[in-house]
A and B are shown apart, each in its own frame.
Chain A
Amino acid sequence: MATKKRVETVSLSSLSKSIDKAVGMATKRHGVSLDNDNVILNWEILGRILREMDLSGKDTRLDVAATITKNVVGIKGQPVVTKFGKDILVGFIARSGSPFSF
């Protein structure tokens, strides 16, 4: 009889990694694409991209903004970085004119 695996468990320390893996699997299984309205899931994926970028190196916040506009399929926008007091806003200004659900 073949040995069966024990089930995996997810603790607090491994939660983030497990969720990242699950998002990746859900993307493959369900064909979730970045141009759907599931912006919250998109931001999970973008979050991983942003985490992998080394801002202390050659990448700047404008590069991050450009990454967002490049990776959210269907978005036509101008990457922008602006500062309000202590807050730095990184994102894009949509040009499509079509509704975009948040």
Chain B
Amino acid sequence: MVGARPFGVLSGSTGEVRIAFFKKDAMQKFDWRERFATPEATQVLRFAARCETSACGHYVDATNKCSLGSRVATALPPVTDALPPCLVRPSCRWHAEQGPAVCLRCPQVTTMIPVGQGPLQAIAAPSALHGG
């Protein structure tokens, strides 16, 4: 994906994974490409990338919105009381479309979801919204 960059890293516990958000100084000194090959990086880090709009299965042309962000905001429980200090919020489509509600749920979302993690996988599937 174009312009993909990490903004957090896996944390929490194996049973309750949460994203720990990078502060600006950490990102300035961290060359993730040097430390990880891309497939492994997606298992360790949380990535943001430029929205591919119609080229992405989550994008709904009729509303010009991201259905994944909508599902995260409506189907997952909040896991924090305060907005995470997120480096991508100023340009985040999810936040722009769903508001702070999605930010309170975002720390439980991981870039790569292991097979068998039902609720997250169900939410990540584009068919969950389109009925396919």
The residues of A with any CB-CB pair to B shorter than 8 Å are: 3-12, 14-15, 18-19, 21-23, 25-26, 28-32, 38, 40-41, 44
Contact = CB atoms under 8 A, between A and B. Distances in A.
Contacts, number: 100
Contacts of B13: 25
A32 B18 contact: no
Contact of B20 (A7, A31, A38, A40): A7
Given A15-B29, A41-B36, 8 more contacts: A3-B81, A4-B78, A19-B44, A21-B11, A25-B13, A26-B10, A26-B44, A29-B10
Interface residues of B, number: 37
Contacts of A44: 35-36
**Interface of chain B: mostly helix, strand, loop or mixed:** mixed
B23 interface: yes
Contacts of B39: 38
